[in-house]
Structure 1
Amino acid sequence: MALSRKALATVAVAVLLLCAGCAEAGKKKANPGGRKPGRKPKPSNGNKPSKRAPDVLTVTAAMALDLLNAKNTTFLDIRSDTDFAASHIAGAVSIPKNLVRQAINSGKPKPPPTNKNILCYSAPAAGAKASTATDEALATCLYFMSSGKYPDIKLYALAGGFPMWQAAGYATESS
């Protein structure tokens, strides 16, 4: 038995509506991973969420130069004393990263002032990625943030660290 064109069109529309209804119902019932509604799913690529604090701003060398010129930010070099003596950002203060917590908690070596913003910078070890310097600077800034002794300042980390500053051709000095 053959169906007329009108009957075929009616059947086709009915099938489309049924399929659309099934798909819509499936979307409402879908609950990936059995999580409660309203919760954000974890990244599917297996990566952990970033631990970078939103209160620490990562800045480029050009942005750091503006901060240096504004004179309301202490530049904190967290590299070794030897690296600092060889060359550092003009006007920077040296506290090696392994002494930062001690400086904050005991005052020796002398910590940065609590009334000025702080920009931390480092340099990657030989053969390491430039992001290593950024991560070290971010971690150091977190020490200042978590200490509670620097509540009203802004914290900055220099992206790429000291090598990026040098590559930009900005002023350096040696001790």
Structure 2
Amino acid sequence: MGLLAERDETLAVAESLTGGLVAAELTAVPGASRTFRGSVTAYATPLKRDLLDVDAGLLERRGAVDADVALQMARGVRSRLGACWGAATTGVAGPEPQDGQPVGTVFVAVWGPPGSTAGTGKVAALRLNGDRAEIRRESVRSVLELLMGELSENARAKDTEQNGEN
């Protein structure tokens, strides 16, 4: 959250399998209200379409557990909540497979502002082991790690630009 605050940028989160755990982790940090706009927990597939503008055809063809769905969720929550950055989680925590995907299949994504390193989105595909709680915890850690990586990369790119090292 420090990098967001330094640059006066904001974050919104779209969650499915994590069910609000990412938002809880972010808001546990004192001063989170400076940068955290809010979250949408779109657990049901139709909500991904209706609230986050995920393409209905994509959801129909591939299901909710998909890399492109994660990207569209991140982009959608960024737009809907008026944030600079969007982050998203979708996947299968178990106990049963979903949409033809085995337990432990997770996609995390971030979507940044235009001109950022994640201005067209970044996604990570994960194959996680463990029980439901472990998969959900690791999904939270992974999306925050992806976000921090993109924020750091974007900060380095801006520093290079400012120093005239194009």
TM-score, structure 1 as length reference: 0.26
Kindly indicate which of the two structures has a greater share of residues assigned to strand: 2
TM-score, structure 2 as length reference: 0.27
Q: Which structure has the higher relative contact order (CA within 8 Å, separation 6+)? A: 1
**Bigger-Rg structure (1/2):** 1
